[in-house]
Amino acid sequence: MSLLVTRIGELVTNDPTHGGPLGIIPDAALVAEHGRVTWLGPATKAPAADRVVDAHGAAAIPGFVDSHAHLVFAGDRSAEFAARMSGQPYTGGGIRTTVAATRAASDDDLRATTRRLAAEAHRQGTTTVEIKSGYGLTVEDEARSLRVAAEFTKETTFLGAHVVPAEYDGRTDEYVELVRGAMLSAAAPYARWVDVFCERGAFDADQARTVLAAGMAAGLLPRVHANQLTAGPGVALAVELGAASADHCTHLSTKDVDALAGSATVATLLPGAEFSTRSPYPDARRLLDAGVRVALATDCNPGSSFTSSMPFCVALAVREMRMTPAEALWSATAGGAMALRRTDVGHLRVGARADLAILAAPTYLYLAYRPGVPLVRTVLLNGEPIT
Ligand code: NIG
Ligand code: FE
């Protein structure tokens, strides 16, 4: 069954052969069949198809690739947010509150929350989402978090080294042994990626390296929560290990920027976290001007960034991090795909997954120009309309 999307006023392809980094085709159409893009070009030349979606002149973009989200959890930390807005700093200490609630939750409760947040993201144009564990922090709770995550995405990440849980207080090295041993063995069947929160108060470079190396030996690919609260060793470690992505990158030394620029590691910026923790935003311009590949993601989690909205992150990136609207959209689509080492999403070319969002707007510029407005009208996931 083929589907024709026609009368697209502005089709963003991320294919530079159509001109500019976003590869925009005006007055375009696109055909999807068996979940893939089979044709795209000027609407006047579009072939016939079994079904037709009329975009009525609106813009269409590749579906957002949210390469960093923590959707498997229980509980609420709105009081912690309110305290921050009254001047309390964010330290990551609240993670243990979510760990306690997550351990106490049933599988069905965790599944329902993950389903609700994934659906919320889809409605806002996200068609690929990465989901981490990291609020279980026991062998069984990490494995079940990933089992639940795997019901919603292929991009699952084992984050047993998120923080040291209370029962291991003062025994971080013993906890690292557990993570790289029994916990990894139980989690690996459900995970594609391994991640560590490499930060003061969480795991230092040696501990993070130990966990990531064990994950890699088990066949997982590395990514790192790096340099969120301090200019620590996370980015250097990510580059050293050839990680697909160093995430946060809020506090960077010149060495860090140079290392990222000379590597295949993507810098994934998470401006929702700075917004919700009232912290200084990462210096996106410095990274882009140095030639670093930049992705944007939500970091959706109940503590530091409780948003599933990629359009909101695009607007923040433009207004607060001085990315151009084109850079921000590229980073939220093609950049996210790169951060997940995916070549089938984040762009619209023949053969790509037919994942796209039709906007309630004549141009993608509206994503930043009209912040906070529901701008995604229709989402096609694998060639099927879902909204
Ligand atoms: O990416 N930094 C570590 N992890 C999450 C925050 C988790 C939380 O506060 O619950 C993050 O911001
Ligand atoms: Fe995170």
Query: Do 58 and 157 share a domain, yes or no?
Result: no
Using DSSP's 3-state secondary structure scheme, residue 22 falls into coil
CATH number for position 135: 3.20.20.140
CA of 248 to the centre of ligand 1 (A): 10
Indicate whether 83 and 51 sit together in one domain: no
For residues 75 and 59, membership in a common domain is answered with no
| Cα 116 to ligand 2 centroid, rounded to whole Å | 19
Q: Which atom of ligand 1 is nearest to the CA of 98?
A: 10
Q: Whose CA is nearest to atom 5 of ligand 1?
A: 304
pLDDT for 246-255, tens place per residue?
999 999 999 9
pLDDT for the residue 79: 96
What is the predicted pLDDT for the residue at 387? 66
Ligand 1, atom nearest to 248 Cα: 1
What value does the mean pLDDT take over residues 202-210?
98
Range of the domain at 97: 65-339
Q: Which ligand 1 atom lies nearest to the CA of residue 95? A: 10
Q: Which ligand is nearest to the CA of 161?
A: 1
**What's the CA gap between 200 and 60, in Å, rounded?**
42
**Are 182 and 293 contained in the same domain?**
yes
Task: Kindly identify the ligand whose nearest atom is closest to the C-alpha of 74.
Answer: 1
Check if the beta carbon of residue 190 is closer than 8 Å to that of residue 150: yes
Q: 0.95 exceeded by the pTM?
A: yes
Q: Pick the last residue of a domain from 301, 316, 339.
A: 339
Residues 227 and 269 reside in one and the same domain: yes
Ligand nearest to the CA of 162: 1
Per-residue confidence (pLDDT) for residue 370, from 0 to 100: 98
* Ligand 1: centre distance to CA 147 (Å): 20
Which residues line the pocket of ligand 1, CB cutoff 6 A? 92, 94-95, 98, 197, 225, 228, 273, 299, 301-304
Q: Are residues 48 and 148 in the same domain?
A: no
What pLDDT sits at residue 363?
A: 98
Where does a domain end: 339, 358, 377?
339
CATH number of domain containing 377? 2.30.40.10
Same domain, 137 and 13: no
**Statement to judge: residues 19 and 56 lie in one domain:** yes
Residues 49 and 159 in one domain: no
**Total number of domains constituting the chain:** 2
Residue 304 CA: which ligand 1 atom is closest? 9
Dist. CA 352 → ligand 2 center (Å): 28
pLDDT in tens, 3-57: 999 999 999 999 999 999 999 999 999 999 999 999 999 999 999 999 999 999 9
Which ligand 1 atom is nearest residue 305's CA?
12
pLDDT of residue 379: 98
Residues 270 and 300 in one domain: yes
> What is the number of the ligand closest to the CA of 199?
1
pLDDT at position 302, please?
98
If asked whether residues 368 and 302 sit together in one domain, one would say: no
CA of 124 to the centre of ligand 1 (A): 22
Give pLDDT tens digits for 109-161.
999 999 999 999 999 999 999 999 999 999 999 999 999 999 999 999 999 99
Distance 225 CA to ligand 2 centre (A): 6
Query: Quick one: 233 and 306 in the same domain?
Result: yes
